[in-house]
Amino acid sequence: MNTPMAAQTNVSTREVVLVTGISGSGKSVALHALEDAGYYCVDNLPPELMRELVRLEHARGTYRVAVAADVRAARSLSPLVPLMDELRGDGILVRALFLDAATDALVRRFSETRRPHPLANPGASDNQTALVEAIELERLMLGELREVSTVIDTSHLRPADLRSWVRRLVHARPAALTLVFESFAFKFGVPLDADFVFDVRMLPNPYYIRELRALTGSDAPVADYLRAQPETGELLSQIEAFLRRWLPSFETDQRSYLTVAIGCTGGQHRSVYIVEQLALRFAAFGAALVRHRELDASD
């Protein structure tokens, strides 16, 4: 167990953050970020003990609790799904974060740290094959929990970026549905955390204009260039109309977060601009967060 860095004061909302995900995806980093943000954190807690922990800590006046759970504590985390509904029924704000990463990224991390996967067969003759099989088994075991959580793709995230992103997610004001707009480069793969993916590579590419190549879609010259293209406004309006048409369905489905991924070739100009504009258009919706995957990774 970890002790919170600072005692909670003047906090009336009871809150629980559940951190789960694939082994090697960064759950320890995420839990440390929550500890730094003032949450009382517990790692590797068996699911059957979670409700009692929350009850005890809230009785002690600790209103912000974060729990990390994975296959080390239990072969099945499915009981956490109805448990989260029970906690919500008690008036507790529950945020579920599921960390994931591409299989090749996970294999690389386990190889670099020389840590064994908790589901890997220690007697296997081919360690890499055994590792991949263990990762796929874990994905299958945690599939139900992933469906009801906010997924964070850590494949391209450095630890510092993951800590920052976790803090932004949990500090977003509670809303019926929080929108996450994420830009990315198709050449580095589609984000695992995307609920919707829109391809904007048909727009004119500022990369081929020498004065704009080193800039990003957040810079005024690039924004002015893209705004002047008729197809940019048309595409933006179509994406906005699609989202406004279907967002009410996601709200009634009791989703907490919806990630809209916008992709272009390099993840630097067009996708960044479209994400920034969509965030502005949906600012009044409730809560909208922005993430630029490739720009964040290159800082």
* 164 and 42 assigned to the same domain: yes
197: three-class secondary structure by DSSP: strand
Tens digit of pLDDT for each residue in 183-227?
Answer: 999 999 999 999 999 999 999 999 999 999 999 999 999 999 999
* 187 and 229 assigned to the same domain: yes
Tell me, what's the pLDDT at 154?
94
Does some domain include residue 1? no
Mean pLDDT by 10 residues, the chain (299 residues): 39 83 94 92 89 89 90 74 90 92 93 83 70 91 89 91 89 75 95 95 97 97 97 97 89 77 97 97 84 84
- CB neighbour class for 159 (10 Å; exposed up to 12, middle 13-18, buried from 19): middle
Which of 171, 186, 201 is the C-terminal boundary of a domain?
171
Does some domain include residue 268? yes
* CATH number, position 36: 3.40.50.300
* 158 and 187 assigned to the same domain: no
* 190 and 138 assigned to the same domain: no
Q: Which domain holds residue 218?
A: 178-298
99: three-class secondary structure by DSSP: strand
* 128 and 275 assigned to the same domain: no
* 22 and 157 assigned to the same domain: yes
* 93 and 21 assigned to the same domain: yes
What total of structural domains would you count in the chain? Answer: 2
Tell me, what's the pLDDT at 74?
60
* 188 and 293 assigned to the same domain: yes
Which of 139, 155, 171 is the C-terminal boundary of a domain?
171
Return the bridge partners of 290, or none: 181
Tell me, what's the pLDDT at 242?
96
Q: Note the helical H segments in the chain.
A: 27-36, 50-59, 80-89, 103-113, 127-141, 143-147, 159-171, 220-227, 230-252, 270-281, 293-298
* 62 and 129 assigned to the same domain: yes
Tell me, what's the pLDDT at 13?
78
Give 58's DSSP letter.
Answer: H
* 272 and 165 assigned to the same domain: no
Does some domain include residue 5? no
291: three-class secondary structure by DSSP: strand
Tell me, what's the pLDDT at 12?
57
